Amino acid sequence: MKFDTPATRNPIDQLKVIGQPLDRIDGPRKTTGTAPYAYERHDAAPNQAYGYVLAAGIARGRVTAMDTAAARRARGVLAIVTTLDVPRLEKGRMNTASLFGGPEVQHYHQAIAVVVAESFEQARDAAAMIRVDYARQPGRFDLAAEARNAKLVPGDSGEGSGAPPEDRFGDFEGAFAAAPVKLDETYTTPDESHAMMEPHATIAAWEGERLTLWTSNQMIAWGKRDVAKTLGIPPENVRLDSPYVGGGFGGKLFLRADAVLAALGARAAGRPVKLALTRPQVANNTTHRPATIQRIRLAAGRDGRLTAIAHESISGDLPGGGPETAVAQTKLLYAGANRLTALRLAELDLPEGNAMRAPGEAPGMMALEVAMDEMAERLGLDPVEFRILNDTQMDPEHPERPFSQRQLVQCLRLGAERFGWAGRNARPGQRREGRWLVGMGVAAGFRNNLLMKSGARVRLDAQGAVTVETDMTDIGTGSYTIIAQTAAEMMGVPLEKVAVRLGDSDFPASAGSGGQWGANNSTAGVYAACVKLRDEVARKLGFNSAEAEFVDGHVRAGNRAVPLGEAAGQEGIVAEDQIEYGELAKRYQQSTFAGHFVEVGVDAATGETRIRRMLAVCAAGRILNPKSARSQVIGAMTMGVGAALMEELAVDKRLGFFVNHDLAGYEVPVHADIPHQEVIFLDEVDPISSPMKAKGVGELGLCGVGGAVANAIYNATGIRVRDYPITLDKLIERLPEVG
């Protein structure tokens, strides 16, 4: 199905199932421990052995020798494959560093061997017996030190945010110099880890030349393609199966070493092999969000209208990698006649930087939304009103291109009303409640809506039951439920008559899970397949498909009503289709918006910050399931708190690795850190987006939260911190005197 004209009324608009706050249908399996994750697929292949990855102990250099004699003699060892045994493997399309093979070490914890044994403990112990000789080379591990060598480069997160190396609109320098009110500040964000609960894990089994991977992966079609390319086998000989993913946040968008080494180990041992990366390897061997140094310059007239905006960002990555696209939202979020954005990349020898929890906008807005608050203060304007004053209904750099929907002003106004913003004291450091300095902060939320081709197969059987098959993944976001709701709405059956099968590369390729694109596109693909199925049912019954109604398990036309099962017959009916997009995305800018409000308390003596309450007001098209959408948003808000207050990978700048590379040392919010969170969805549909009239929502709940927290801390204390995370050591020496 080609979607190239705005959606009109269709069966989804009935809202009998779609739009209802239904419980997740996979919930009972998740809560009873019966949803099998990749490492737990004991049923997948018989006689599984255990693999353990030996990772490089240097950050840059070469492996000159590996002595595996003792390890091969160790009890239970079945096979050992080292990086010196294998020529450097082809890189997948999405990989920056090589995942295995050859002597060169590009980053710390790069995989250099896999040991296969009868038990996990035997494999781990044997790996420790391997003696490795290295020729260490000096590396570049400090972004601040390398920033002066950073080069202008284009950036594309692959998730809807991107920018050319340098982009100019109007005369920024002239407008900035002439403005009566201006701001020029630098902000930094640190390296961060995905910290998903489920580590990267894979079970691999060979049947002749055919390889099956039961793995944890967000993008099945990408994974299948890159496994085939990396191992040099035909794509038709590769199958990936990933029905449940225990969190990915971008870290499982791409092929990683667990899948490659499980496959190599299984081939060497002649047995299925299960393998999981250790926590330190998840941090250092896979990907992370790279640190940024961001300079923002804003200029405005006395009336508060922005006349010049510049956002420049420096980040680092391995040679061949790309920048964090932190300036992308600044190209679209606020009006302003004169504009400059620039991306610079410094080559570093740290582990690969790549997509993590809203790449681009998440760290970019941590800077931009603080700068907007600072500018509002210089202008003597309320921060909410300053943002509203500089709203735009079209792409500021392409005025002929309007937003398909843009309700940022409504988000901010409703949020201010619900949060009690009028009671905020604009003068910082004035509100005290016992030992706590209390403040409120606001930030806009922004995330683009990305359209991606997505397919599905739908079966109707003689019992009137519907089965949906698509390689879409459920990474804890509720894909099973909204896909079932879509099929139920389209085919006129109750939810319990729909079965959903996900995550298998033998199914039609979907959009996959990432970049907040999964829900809208995957359900639109199911919509397309259901339209074809409805047409086939009508054709078989001799009905006019335009007049046929699918209601209560029947198909009706005129005076006739036939049960769906009877229409399907004993052989059933199968339909397969995909959603494809035309030129609408070029004619309209498609984005999602939010107003984020946060109240904090800062201990007047210690500088400890506690979140007191949070509110997000979101405009993101039709909300397919308000209950699961709320869960996504409050989860994202929690991640925003983590980025603002605690998340930071500490870099050993001598040896080039992340020191706090486990869940004990890498701090993330826990339940005690997060108080009441409120989420409001504006009543919105976007017929430009898809037949579902929906857009993404998950990452919108994150983008802007860090800035709102920082602004609340300033309002509470009068201390402006521009270097994240805002830990108490950055506050304690500057706190107001305790009276």
In Å, how far are 280, 285, 351, 355, 671 from 194, measured between CA atoms? 12, 12, 13, 9, 18
Please give the Cα distance from 482 to 12 (Å, whole number): 12
Three-state DSSP at 105 gives strand
CA distances for 45 relative to 42, 123, 203, 274, 656, angstroms: 7, 19, 8, 10, 39
Contact of 697 with 517, CB cutoff 8 Å: no
Residue 193, CA atoms < 13 Å, CB-side half-sphere: 31
Which option is the CATH number for 2-35+451-586: 3.90.420.10, 3.40.390.10, 3.30.365.10, 3.30.70.2200? 3.30.365.10
Residue 570 carries which DSSP code?
Answer: T
In the chain, helix, strand, coil percent, each to 5? 30, 30, 45
The residue type at 25:
I
Burial class (CB in 10 A: 0-12, 13-18, 19+), 269: buried
Which active-site residues does the annotation give?
A: 699
Read off φ and ψ for residue 319, nearest 5 degrees. -55, 135
What is the rounded CA–CA span in Å between residue 673 and residue 74? Answer: 46
- Tell me the residue type at 20: Q
Contact 684, 696 (CB under 8 A): no
Q: Where are any strands of DSSP class E within 25-165?
A: 49-55, 61-67, 77-82, 104-105, 111-117, 131-136, 151-152, 155-156, 162-163
CA distances from 207 to 239, 273, 522 (A): 11, 13, 31
Euclidean distance between CA atoms 35 and 454, whole angstroms:
25
With a CB cutoff of 8 Å and minimum separation 6, the contacts of 326 are 189, 292, 294, 311, 313, 315, 343, 360, 363, 364, 367
| Helix residue spans in 130-205 (DSSP H) | 143-146, 172-178
Closest CA to 286 of 371, 201, 368: 201
End-to-end, the C-alpha distance of the chain in Å comes to 68
> Could you tell me which of 367, 540, 340 has the C-alpha nearest to residue 444?
367
Helix axes 518-541, 479-491, angle to 10 degrees: 30
CA 233 – CA 209 distance, rounded (Å): 8
Tokens, residue 416: 């201010």
The two structure tokens encoding residue 729: 């050591």
**H or E segment to which residue 128 belongs:** helix 120-129
Fold observed for domain 396-448+590-734: Aldehyde Oxidoreductase; domain 4 (3.30.365)
Torsion of CA 430, 432, 435, 437, to 10 degrees: -50
DSSP per residue over 218-259, as a string? S-HHHHHHHHHHHHT--GGGEEEE-S--S--TTTTSS--HHH
The per-residue pLDDT for range 92-130, each reduced to its tens digit, is: 999 999 999 999 999 999 999 999 999 999 999 999 999
Among 571, 511, 639, 586, which residue's Cα sits nearest to residue 220? 511
Residues 147 and 134: their CA atoms lie apart, in Å, by: 29
By residue count, the chain amounts to 739
555, 561, 565, 566: CA torsion to nearest 10: -130
Give the model confidence (pLDDT) of 454-492 as tens digits: 999 999 999 999 999 999 999 999 999 999 999 999 999
Domain boundaries defined on the chain: 2-35+451-586, 38-137+198-280, 396-448+590-734
- Give the up-direction half-sphere exposure of residue 714: CA atoms within 13 A in the CB hemisphere: 21
Q: Are 632 and 697 in contact (CB under 8 A)?
A: yes
How many of the other CB atoms lie within 10 Å of CB of 550? 22
Strands 554-557 and 306-317: unpaired
Q: Do domains 38-137+198-280 and 396-448+590-734 have the same CATH topology?
A: yes
Q: Tell me which residues of the chain have a pLDDT lower than 50.
A: none
What is d(CA 588, CA 179) in angstroms, rounded to the nearest whole number?
32
How far, in Å, CA of 324 to CA of 448, rounded? Answer: 16
pLDDT, residue 65, reads 98
Sign of the C-alpha dihedral computed for residues 721, 723, 728 and 734 taken in this order: negative
Peptide bond into 725 cis (omega under 30): yes
Alpha carbon separation from 684 to 457, 526, 680 (Å, rounded): 29, 21, 12
Fold for 38-137+198-280, please state it. Aldehyde Oxidoreductase; domain 4 (3.30.365)
